[in-house]
Amino acid sequence: MAMNATAIERISTKARAISLRLFWRRFCRNKLALIAFWFIIAEVIVAVAAPYIAPYDPYKGDFLATWETPNRLHWLGTDDLGRDVLSRLLYGARISISVGILSQVAIAVVGVPIGALSGLKGGRLDYVIMRVIDVLSSLPTICFYILLMVALGAGFWNLILAMTLTGWIGIARLVRGQVLSLKKTDFIRASRAMGGGTRYIIKKHILSNVMTPVIVSIAIGIPGAMFAEAGLSFLGLGIPAPRASWGQMIGIYQAYIRTAWHLTVFPSIVLALTMLAWFLFADGIRDALDTNSSFSIVD
Amino acid sequence: MLRFVLSRIAGLVGVLFIVSVITFGLMHSVPGGPFDARALEKQQLVPENIKRQLNEKYGLNAPVWKQYTLFVRNAVFLDFGYSMAYPNRTVVGILKEQWSYSLQLGLLTLLFSTAVGVGLGIASAVKPNSILDYLGTGVSILCLVMPSFVFAILLQVVFSVWLGWLPTGGWSSPRHLIMPVLANSLAPILVLQRYTRASMRDTMKANYVRTARAKGLSKNRIMFIHVFKNALTPLLTVGGPLAAGLIVGSFFVESIFRIPGIGFYFVSAIGSRDYPMIMVTTLVWTLIISLAYLITDLLYALVDPRVTLVRED
């Protein structure tokens, strides 16, 4: 009997030790996702190192060099105040990446416990939470974003707050569904029969099993949040000037497209490439974690 | 069935009530009123006493909860009053007039994206790994990574600035429609192409399709009578909300191409603190989206006999 228990222990730890390596091996099999992964790593490094590698100060104008098209001194040209577009793009990467990651972390921190509680406790609490989710999801998302941003005022942290207020719904619903179906599984019933308490079951079984869809949802949510940041900044409600954000640059300079195309085209290209990389990366993560979903981007 | 519809409609009234409270609260928590905003726009100072009179005229000096109850009382009779930014037009009048532009844009987008999205989806399901399959995947990747406002601007650069073929904005001739519809179609094409393809592939694995093949039916007959009709059902679930999302207008496409639709008016109403305009637009949007979900559920039960709306336990 005792030997049996240790054998099970050994098998289970072995399986877990393999799973991280297996995840990486499976991930590497998807070449596109791997390229996207290295692109993202490079972009993060560039964003972190922006103050050291940016050729110019992104906030300092040079009034002798305004509206310049790409040339040897300013590789991607300068804007109406003579600020270097390349430097501003590099600083914009910091905004985009930090909004994407921070908002998703905040959404997970708020959404996962609410969903788990709702699924586990059931009853009146579940009813109330579900009605709140129903109401919030029947509001048109962009409309809610815009109203929130106007009420809160444009700014980095307000943007994250607005995204958290609208975004926790999806992940809470996801976790609740997972918990509801997990509650009925044999291994949780067995664990309970062997005397596992609620807290033990949540920590040992529920959290580890819910993590996979949560990770996938975060990975897909990051480019979604970047998209939203760009859109709100485009409308002038996201990141306020003078801080540089890609969406904001596109929004401000789209009016000058006839005379200064480089001011909108370069941020657009960077934004689209970044979105592509993050979506491919998220796709790779989902494939590697092997959650089944019929809606995939590349297969 | 009737009970289901009635309970959903009762729920809808509750949703509208809560949405109206949230919107009203958010709107009034923003600093500055409609007359400050208008003064700022016209670069002039409104004397204090005139502002006070204006506020009194529009009932803006009352406590917020009183303003809200007044709004609800009038809303029951569908009386939303005059716009604060356009004092000579009623809110309902503005909606009626401006919505026709959004509706045209939305319906054209729906037509175009259905043709392209469903067409590409079918083609890549029928002939996997063909050129059309790769084209479908390529188009959907483009739709996924391109924000509509970025695509709209790139279209303007190419077709208006470089080639000079199409006008950059406005809404008067068919040539004005091409770029807005293209830019607005990105998200719907992505969703429709992916779902059609996935749904067709799932259906092609069904037993009755194998039986049909074993009976010796022609490939075209199987594809269109057996597979396509059954694959359409899951498409309904995405199609309803998608259509609703399109007819409520687009903030980005309308503002870039200067189309005087409802999305454009909503953004400017927020800027000018046009309270009645913001309230009514938000509520009508919520109504349309909720109704779209309800209609989708009903259609689903109608098309697929396996689905029941009433809980069986």
At B5-60, the pLDDT tens digits run: 888 888 888 888 888 888 888 888 877 777 776 666 666 777 778 878 877 877 78
Cis peptide before A70 (omega within 30 of 0): no
Q: Which of A147, A257, A272 sits opposite B150 (nearest CB)?
A: A272
| pLDDT above 70 (res A293) | no
| Number of residues in chain A | 299
**Best of A233, A234, A274, A292 to mutate (most B CBs within 10 Å, chain B):** A234
Place of tokens 């073929």: B165
Q: Does A234 touch chain B (CB under 8 A)?
A: yes
Look at residue A298 in the predicted model and tell me its pLDDT. 45
Residues of A in contact with B161 (CB under 8 A): 257-258, 261
Tally: H helices and E strands in chain A: 12, 0
Q: Does B23 touch chain A (CB under 8 A)?
A: yes
Asked if the Cβ–Cβ distance from A138 to B29 is below 8 Å, we say no
Q: Does A115 touch chain B (CB under 8 A)?
A: no
Look at residue A88 in the predicted model and tell me its pLDDT. 93
Look at residue B107 in the predicted model and tell me its pLDDT. 93
Q: Does B296 touch chain A (CB under 8 A)?
A: no
CA distance B121 to B291: 27
Rg, Å, chain B Cα set: 24
Joined together, the tokens standing for residue A36 give 């996207």
Look at residue A13 in the predicted model and tell me its pLDDT. 46
Higher pLDDT, A89 or A207: A89
Q: Does B283 touch chain A (CB under 8 A)?
A: no
Look at residue B130 in the predicted model and tell me its pLDDT. 86
Cβ A275 vs Cβ B145: under 8 Å: yes
Q: What is the mean pLDDT of chain B?
A: 84
Look at residue A291 in the predicted model and tell me its pLDDT. 52
Nearest Cα residue in chain A from B147: A227
> What distance in Å separates residue B15's CA from the closest CA in chain A?
6
Higher pLDDT, A297 or B292: B292
Look at residue B111 in the predicted model and tell me its pLDDT. 94
Q: Does A73 touch chain B (CB under 8 A)?
A: no
Give the ipTM of the model, two decimals please: 0.79
Average of per-residue pLDDT across A220-230: 91
Residues of A in contact with B290 (CB under 8 A): 138
Q: Which of A134, A257, A273 sits opposite B157 (nearest CB)?
A: A257
Q: What are phi and psi of A84, to 5 degrees?
A: -75, 125
Look at residue A137 in the predicted model and tell me its pLDDT. 80
**Bridge partners, B82 (sequence order):** B90
Cβ A93 vs Cβ A46: under 8 Å: yes
Nearest Cα residue in chain B from A283: B141
Q: Which of A139, A247, A258 sits opposite B19 (nearest CB)?
A: A139
Average of per-residue pLDDT across B122-147: 87
Higher pLDDT, A6 or A153: A153
Joined together, the tokens standing for residue B91 give 């809110």
SS (H, E, C) chain B: CHHHHHHHHHHHHHHHHHHHHHHHHHHHHCCCCHHHHHHHHHCCCCCHHHHHHHHHHCCCCCCHHHHHHHHHHHHHCCCCCECCCCCCCEHHHHHHHHHHHHHHHHHHHHHHHHHHHHHHHHHHHHCCCCHHHHHHHHHHHHHHHCCHHHHHHHHHHHHHHHCCCCCCCCCCCHHHHHHHHHHHCHHHHHHHHHHHHHHHHHHHCCHHHHHHHHHCCCHHHHHHHHHHHHHHHHHHHHHHHHHHHHHCCCHHHHHHCCCCCHHHHHHHHHHCCCHHHHHHHHHHHHHHHHHHHHHHHHHHHHHCCCCCCCCCC
| pLDDT above 50 (res B87) | yes
Asked if the Cβ–Cβ distance from A265 to B149 is below 8 Å, we say no
CA distance A198 to B52: 61
**Bridge partners, A84 (sequence order):** A78
Q: Does A271 touch chain B (CB under 8 A)?
A: yes
Joined together, the tokens standing for residue A281 give 């990366």
CA distance A82 to A103: 32
3-state secondary structure of A230: helix
Interface A–B counts its CB contacts (< 8 A) at 110
Q: Does B18 touch chain A (CB under 8 A)?
A: yes
Residues of A in contact with B15 (CB under 8 A): 134-135, 138
Average of per-residue pLDDT across B154-170: 85
Q: Does B149 touch chain A (CB under 8 A)?
A: yes
Q: Does A140 touch chain B (CB under 8 A)?
A: yes
> What distance in Å separates residue A55's CA from the closest CA in chain B?
26
Distances (CA, A) of A288 to A20, A27, A285, B239: 10, 5, 5, 30
**Best of B150, B193, B267 to mutate (most A CBs within 10 Å, chain A):** B150
User: What is the percentage of chain A residues whose pLDDT exceeds 90?
Assistant: 27
CA distance A52 to A45: 11
Look at residue A108 in the predicted model and tell me its pLDDT. 93
Nearest Cα residue in chain B from A257: B157
Average of per-residue pLDDT across B137-158: 87
3-state secondary structure of A235: coil
Nearest Cα residue in chain B from A246: B150
Nearest Cα residue in chain A from B141: A297
CA distance B92 to B80: 7
Express each pLDDT in A20-73 by its tens digit: 777 888 888 888 899 999 999 999 999 999 999 888 888 888 888 888 888 888
Average of per-residue pLDDT across A98-104: 94
Residues of B in contact with A231 (CB under 8 A): 147, 149, 252
Classify burial at A165, counting beta carbons within 10 Å of its beta carbon; exposed 0-12, middle 13-18, buried 19 or more. middle
Asked if the Cβ–Cβ distance from B15 to A134 is below 8 Å, we say yes
| pLDDT above 50 (res A296) | no
Average of per-residue pLDDT across A99-115: 93
3-state secondary structure of A109: helix
Average of per-residue pLDDT across A238-263: 86
Residues of A in contact with B144 (CB under 8 A): 275-276, 279, 297
Predicted TM-score of the model (pTM): 0.83
Cβ B117 vs Cβ B188: under 8 Å: yes
| Number of residues in chain B | 313
| pLDDT above 50 (res A180) | yes
| pLDDT above 80 (res B152) | yes
Nearest Cα residue in chain B from A294: B198
Asked if the Cβ–Cβ distance from B141 to A235 is below 8 Å, we say no
Look at residue A171 in the predicted model and tell me its pLDDT. 92
| pLDDT above 90 (res A101) | yes
Which of A104-108, B105-109, B225-229, B259-263 is predicted least confidently?
Answer: B225-229
CA B47 to chain centre: 41
Asked if the Cβ–Cβ distance from B30 to A257 is below 8 Å, we say no
Asked if the Cβ–Cβ distance from B141 to A297 is below 8 Å, we say yes
Higher pLDDT, A294 or A53: A53
Classify burial at B118, counting beta carbons within 10 Å of its beta carbon; exposed 0-12, middle 13-18, buried 19 or more. buried
Q: What is the mean pLDDT of chain A?
A: 84
Which of A13-27, B149-163, B296-310 is predicted least confidently?
Answer: A13-27
Place of tokens 């007044």: B70
> What distance in Å separates residue A259's CA from the closest CA in chain B?
9
| pLDDT above 70 (res A297) | no
